[in-house]
Structure 1
């Protein structure tokens, strides 16, 4: 549905050109919710604004539903853009217009018949839960309500693609969760393909099917949300994952370990799917001459699959610890030593 083919975007800076996007290849399939995450300055906004040509790529192609947008005439491009809705970080509502008029604006510009506009707008306001706010003004709404108006407006032209530009970053956690669930509902009920950019890994975890990590204008990692969360391949991805998985050893635990005797080993054990329910540590303690101490752990769910993370301390004879490690590997469970011979 959306294809970036060797897309580069360069801005002319005061001192030198700035390359915001660097040879980006990305494929978003029809019906997916695809997240792009990156730190500030990674190129996220440039990427999403290239989809509807709010920013024109310096080189490369952007395809939407089979159309090469850069090759279209002005008239063809206007028609193509009706299939692309956009939700903005700061809502971009007209403060002097009512909620009804804000949602109706794309239809009025397209000169849709008045009765059809009314039906479409009221249907959308009902869908986003704001049918009683039609005659209200944006200043009378909460942040979450404003974003719901923005979603309704973006859906007015019945788009095939919905672009979300940091759509939840201005909202509190509870409202963010509600808006993310609404976007998921949009995807499921309207069949709209969603491309969202964010710096919040929780948003990716909540609703996305796939994720790409953008760093300094380049896609450094991409894949299913589960694969990227469970086995991050780059340092920048691992940093994002830690923000929601909380899998680092707390400083207080490090301090405690430093006061203990030598011969201790610290391991990270990752449980995926059915393995999360196995009594692994209990079996190790019964079978091998190894003392097991759980230092830190959590379990989360990604796309319906449990993902557990434990940081454990093994102490005892070195040979017994190695035998225990072999047993874990035989169970096809990921284990990695993160700290050895603490003293």
Structure 2
């Protein structure tokens, strides 16, 4: 559906070159909701603007719906872009036009018949819940309502692909949830492929099937949302995951452990699926001569799969703790030491 092969984007700033994208490769399948996350300056906006050629890449290939966009004639490209809708962070509405006209604009530019335009716009305003706002102007709307108008406008030409450029970053949390639910509804009812760029891992967790982590113009990690949340391979991915999992140990707890003057070892144990219901810690307490202290823990759900995360402290002889670790490694969990010899 969307393929980026070896995409590089270089901006010229006088005598200095800025490489916004560096050999990016992505494969987004039809019907997926795919997220790209990165900090400010990572290259996210450049990437999404390259997908519909608002920015032309310096090198590489961009294929959408089996068409190599860079090889199309200007007329063919205009046709291809009608199949790619885009939602912007700051809405990009025409303040002097009504909600109805804002949504109708892509169809008016295509010189569609008046009745066809009216029918399509009314259908879309019903879909986004703004039928009663058709005659209002953008400055009479809330931020969430403005974004719904932007979404309706992006859907006007019945695209198969929807690009979302930080579509929720200007909204409050409650409004963000309503917009994400609307995007899920669009994906499910219209089978539209959605590409979202964001700096908020909560958006990725809530809506996406897959995610790519962008850092300094490079894709440093990609996979299913579950894989990246459960087993982040890079520091930048781990930092993003931590923002929504809230699994960091406060310094006050570290100080308490150090003050005990004993050898303490701290581990993060991650549980998946059915393993979240297994009495692992109870079994350890029964069969091994160690004390187990749960410092933090939570169970959430990722893509319908239970996902548990515990930060635990073992106290006891090193030999016995090693036996515990061997036992845990035989279970359907992942364990990683986060602090050794804190005493």
Instruction: Name the TM tier (shorter chain).
Output: over 0.9
| Residue 7 (structure 2) aligns with | 7
The 5 Å alignment of 1:107-256 reads 107-256=107-256
Q: CA deviation at 1:15?
A: 4.1
CA distance in 2, matches of 1:336, 1:185: 38
**Residue of structure 2 in register with 1:321 after alignment:** 321
In structure 1, the residue matched to 2:271 is 271
Where 1:6 maps in the other structure, the secondary structure is: strand
Aligned pairs (5 A) from 1:65-84: 65-84=65-84
**Distance in structure 1 (CA, Å) of the matches to 2:19 and 2:340:** 43
Give the distance between the partners of 2:280 and 2:15, measured in 1 at CA.
Answer: 59
User: Secondary structure in 1 aligned to 2:300?
Assistant: strand
Residues 91 and 150 in structure 1, CA contact (< 8 A), matched pair in contact too: yes
Structure 1 counterpart of 2:285:
285
Distance in 2 (alpha carbons) for counterparts of 1:173 and 1:149: 19
Secondary structure, aligned partner of 2:293: strand
* Shift in Å, 1:286: 1.3
Alpha-carbon distance in 2 for matches of 1:73, 1:15:
32
* Count of paired positions: 343
SS at 1:341's partner residue?
coil
Residues 264-288 of structure 1, C-alpha deviations (whole Å, 9 max, x = no match): 2111111111111111111111111
Q: CA deviation at 1:164?
A: 0.2
Superposed CA deviations along residues 2-49 of structure 1, whole A, max 9, x for unmatched, are 111111111111340111111111111111100000111111001000
Aligned CA RMSD, in angstroms, stands at 0.9
Shift of 1:155: 0.1
- Tell me, in whole angstroms, the C-alpha distance in 1 between the residues paired with 2:156 and 2:275: 46
Q: Secondary structure at the match of 2:244?
A: helix
Task: State the Cα deviation string for residues 217-267 of structure 1 (Å, max 9, x = none).
Answer: 111111111111110111111111111111211112112112112122111
Counterpart residue number, 1:98: 98
Gapped runs of 5+ residues in structure 2? Answer: none
Contact 1:21 1:46 in 2 (8 A): yes
Does the 8 A contact of 1:299 with 1:309 survive in 2? Answer: yes
Q: CA deviation at 1:186?
A: 0.4
Where does structure 1 lack aligned partners over 5 or more consecutive residues? none
Per the normalisation by structure 1, the TM-score is: 0.98
Instruction: Give the TM-score of the pair, scaled to structure 2.
Output: 0.98
Q: Deviations over 1:184-233 (max 9, x none)?
A: 10001011100110000000110101101111111111111111111011
Q: Which runs of 4+ in 1 moved over 3 A?
A: none
Q: Which deviates more from structure 2 when the two are superposed, residues 212-221 or residues 83-92? A: 212-221
CA offset at residue 102 of structure 1?
0.3
